[in-house]
Structure formats: C-alpha cells, structure tokens
Amino acid sequence: MIRVLLSTRLFTEGFEKLNNDYEVVAPSSPFFSKQEILDLIGDFDAFIPTFQFKVDSEIIDAGIGRLKIIANYGVGYNNIDVDYATQKGIVVTNTPDPVIESTAELAFSLMLTVTRRLAEFDRKLRLPDGLPWGVMENLGHTLYGKTLGIIGMGRIGQAVARRAVAFGMQIVYHNRNRLPLEIEYLYNARFLKKNEVMKISDVISIHTPLLPETHHLIGKDEFEMMKPTAILVNTARGPVVDEDVLIRVLQLNEIYGAGLDVYEFEPQINPKLFLLDNVVLAPHIGTATVESRLQMNQFVTQNIVGFFEGRIDITRVN
C-alpha cells in the first residue's frame, strides 16, 4: 500500500481520499521533529511538509529508495532543496490555488491597519493613560486615491489589485514579465520598472517568490526611493526585504510604516521591531484560515493521487 507521511498535524477534512486509499501517518503532537522524520521517511512513498519544515539533502537522502513525491503544503517551496530532489528523481509539488484569496486579504488587512494606525491605537487605549481624543488627534491616512505598487503581479498580486480597485486606488506594478494588456485593463494597471514603482507608490506590496535573484530585492537603494509617507507590506517571504535596513528606516521615520507577515529569520523576529509603533506584525498567517487549510488539504490530495495515477495535471515545481 502507498504510504503518506505528514510533517505536521492538520485537519482530517479534505484528506478523505488519502485516508481511504492510502496509509497516512501524522504526528500526534503538533509536528514531527527532524530526527523523527529521518527515522520514518524511508518507509514512505509520499511526504507532505509544511513551510516550517526544512526538507534538506539529509531528509531527501533518508527517503531515497522509496520516496517518490514531496507534496509541499504551501505555494512557496524555499523550504525544500528542489534541485537536490530533482537530482534524486523525486517530484516536488506545491499548492498555489488555495492561498490566493486569504493571502490577498491579509495583505489588505495590513495596509489598512498600518495606514489607520489601528494596532498602535488598540495597544495604547488599553494603557492606564489611554489616548487623547479630538479632531486633530490620532490621524492616519486613507487608501482612497492613493497609488499601490505591486512587486510581483502573479495571482496573489492580482487578487490584491482587485481589492485595491474597489478601494479607489491606482495600480502600478513590476513583474519579471509584463502582463497581457487584457489583464492590465482589468485593474487599469501600469507596468513600470521597479525603481519607478518604488518612487511613485504610496503603498508597496510584495508578492514575489524567494529566489536567489529576489533575496534583498528591497534594500537600501529601494527604501531611499520611497516617499516618506509610503508604507511597505510584505506577505511573501522575509528575506525578499533587507530587514536591518527596514528597521533603520522605520526607526528614523523615513517611511510611514510597514506591515509584515514574514521575517528574514523567522520564526525569530528581530526584537527591535517590537519597539516600533509604525510596524504591524503578524505570525506568518497569510494562508491561516480554516477555509484555506481545507482547500490546501484537497489540493495536496489531488497532487498525490494524481501523481500515483500518472496524471500530468499536478502542480510540479521541478
């Protein structure tokens, strides 16, 4: 019988076909340790890791002989040594579709929370001295009429653009390749060079994968181009932004603020960020909704079942 190993305890809903047709082993605790996976994986045909679990060459070597597919639980797959898996003849898949709307929702939530200073006000209202009330107190900014710059106009970037249009924002974007004109027309979006996007945008939203060429894509030069009233939102991957530089510009109020769901060295967060009122922090929850998790379960199931049935309509990344 085909055996499937999960790195993390997940909902059982959505995994019905796997549970009925295959033998599925999941941890009784929240997740297996690396050593536990090393001890187990050699006896499994498929492995489902979450973004928190690093699938390095040691893990892959431990699975060689039986392991045929690593079905990543997420759209980003920088937690997996894909090149090494490819060398060893192991297929790697991801789950791009279920993460789109939930991640776009979070990106927009961060935009609103930063511009209207909601997290800051919530914290301060709970203090004994509270906050002063008045017409000229507690001012933020509105998104209506502002320019949203999207770095990485894939499906998540476009889902953010769709929401921005409803808020009356102007859309500019930078992408590895320009989108077809009919897609640009949907959002009245303009394709610009990255530097131009950084200069004219009131909000920058990052939606690129983490690749060697996107590491520190937003660094010292890019922050110097941004308006002092601009905000940065990152729901992609932490190392796309040079976090040390970001902290410095926030400390000096050289930009208005930032909303972060991802961090350069997560799960560790630079403690300097905790001291800043002009940054909103979330614990990598872009896809963390019940609905998304159930859809991801179904999508992972389709990838594994499709692979073993010999179908080509699986979302391979190698």
pLDDT at 90: 97
What is the set of domains in the chain, with CATH numbers? 3-94+289-308 (3.40.50.720), 99-281 (3.40.50.720)
pLDDT in tens, 189-223: 999 999 999 999 999 999 999 999 999 999 999 99
17 vs 12, 107, 179, 188, 218, CA distance in Å? 10, 33, 37, 43, 43
Residue ranges with strand state E in 261-312: 279-281
Q: Provide the whole-model pTM.
A: 0.92
Q: Are the beta carbons of 168 and 202 closer than 8 angstroms?
A: no
Please say if the pLDDT value at position 60 is more than 90. yes
Please say if the pLDDT value at position 76 is more than 90. no
Mean residue pLDDT of the chain comes to 96
The secondary structure of 180-239 as a DSSP string is PHHHHHHHTEEE--HHHHHHH-SEEEE-----GGGTTSB-HHHHHHS-TT-EEEE-S-GG
Element (H, E) at 172: strand 170-174
Please say if the pLDDT value at position 49 is more than 90. yes
pLDDT at 296: 96
298 three-state secondary structure = helix
Q: Are the beta carbons of 27 and 3 closer than 8 angstroms?
A: no
pLDDT at 182: 96
Percentage of the chain surpassing pLDDT 70? 100
Q: From 201, 116, 118, select the one nearest 161 (Cα to Cα).
A: 201
Please say if the pLDDT value at position 52 is more than 90. no
Mean pLDDT of 154-160: 97
Please say if the pLDDT value at position 51 is more than 90. no
Biggest CA pair distance of the chain: 69
- As to burial, measured by CB atoms within 10 angstroms (0-12 exposed, 13-18 middle, 19+ buried), residue 181 is exposed
Active site residues: 237, 266, 284
